[in-house]
Chains A and B, each alone.
Chain A
Amino acid sequence: DVKVTQSSRYLVKRTGEKVFLECVQDMDHENMFWYRQDPGLGLRLIYFSYDVKMKEKGDIPEGYSVSREKKERFSLILESASTNQTSMYLCGVIVMNTEAFFGQGTRLTVV
């Protein structure tokens, strides 16, 4: 199984800060994603990446950008953090269009 590592488990940032959430896989899969998870709303797709330098907006891309310079790393960027971006962020990899492997999640609090 592929291992997905997110750089931080817990993060507290101030409103207006630029925030980087890092995600690294230990294999060579093309498809990677970022979701946010909120109570009652489930998982909502922020961005999807098909390969290096290739990205596609998900359902809620506003306020976020992404970077995929190397195949193993997919970064989520909050350009100017706001309190409504307080959430659990999950990144992961899709393998063979049949399985999604998730990182352990980053719980971000914006104060």
Chain B
Amino acid sequence: GESVGLHLPTLSVQEGDNSIINCAYSNSASDYFIWYKQESGKGPQFIIDIRSNMDKRQGQRVTVLLNKTVKHLSLQIAATQPGDSAVYFCASVHGNQFYFGTGTSLTVIP
């Protein structure tokens, strides 16, 4: 079955620096990937997504990179702010099946 993982469990960055959070997936048939942000005591919220026929997608301060050769996904957050502190996890999607990674807890140091 599908597995999604290889997150670092924690990441600390200085305010203003860029953050990079990584994720790996196993199913080469996954056709869609999503990054979620989960703040303490809340449900996960959508950040950005990317289809498997793309290798990069940019949003506001966030960029997702997809490397299908090595089945690797990354989320880059530019100019990290204290409000970015949260758990981030990726999901790979195949059909209507979602497979979630375990998440990386990002702490922004003022």
Q: Do A and B bind each other?
A: yes
Q: A42-B89, A42-B101, A98-B49 are in contact. Are A105 and B43 (CB under 8 A)?
A: yes
Does A19 count as interface, using CB distance less than 8 angstroms?
no
Q: A97-B95, A99-B34, A100-B91 are in contact. Are A43 and B43 (CB under 8 A)?
A: no
Option from A42, A98, A102 in Cβ contact (under 8 Å) with B45 = A102
19 contacts between A and B (CB under 8 A): A4-B43, A6-B43, A9-B41, A33-B98, A35-B100, A42-B101, A43-B89, A43-B100, A90-B43, A94-B98, A97-B95, A98-B32, A99-B49, A100-B34, A100-B44, A100-B46, A100-B91, A101-B46, A105-B43
Option from B5, B9, B44 in Cβ contact (under 8 Å) with A90 = B44
Decide if the interface of chain A is mainly helix, strand, loop or mixed.
Answer: strand
Q: How far is the CB of A22 from chain B (nearest CB, A)?
A: 15
B: residues with CB less than 8 A from A are 5, 9, 32, 34, 36, 41-46, 49, 89, 91, 93, 95-96, 98, 100-103
The 8 lowest CB-CB distance pairs between A and B, nearest first, are A42-B102, A102-B43, A43-B100, A104-B43, A97-B96, A105-B43, A102-B44, A103-B43
Q: Which residue of A lies closest to B7 (CB)?
A: A42
Option from B5, B41, B46 in Cβ contact (under 8 Å) with A99 = B46
User: Which chain A residues border B96 with CB–CB below 8 Å?
Assistant: 31, 94, 97
Q: How far is the CB of B104 from chain A (nearest CB, A)?
A: 11
A: residues with CB less than 8 A from B are 4, 6, 9, 31, 33, 35, 40-43, 90, 92, 94, 97-105, 107
Query: How far does the alpha carbon of A39 sit from the alpha carbon of B102 in the complex, in Å?
Result: 8
Query: How far does the alpha carbon of A101 sit from the alpha carbon of B95 in the complex, in Å?
Result: 16
User: Which chain A residues border B46 with CB–CB below 8 Å?
Assistant: 99-101
User: Which chain B residues border A4 with CB–CB below 8 Å?
Assistant: 43
Q: How far is the CB of B100 from chain A (nearest CB, A)?
A: 4
Q: A43-B100, A90-B43, A90-B44 are in contact. Are A97 and B93 (CB under 8 A)?
A: yes
User: Which chain B residues border A107 with CB–CB below 8 Å?
Assistant: 41
- Please state if B9 and A104 are interface contacts (CB–CB under 8 Å): no
Query: How far does the alpha carbon of A41 sit from the alpha carbon of B9 in the complex, in Å?
Result: 11
User: Which chain B residues border A99 with CB–CB below 8 Å?
Assistant: 34, 46, 49
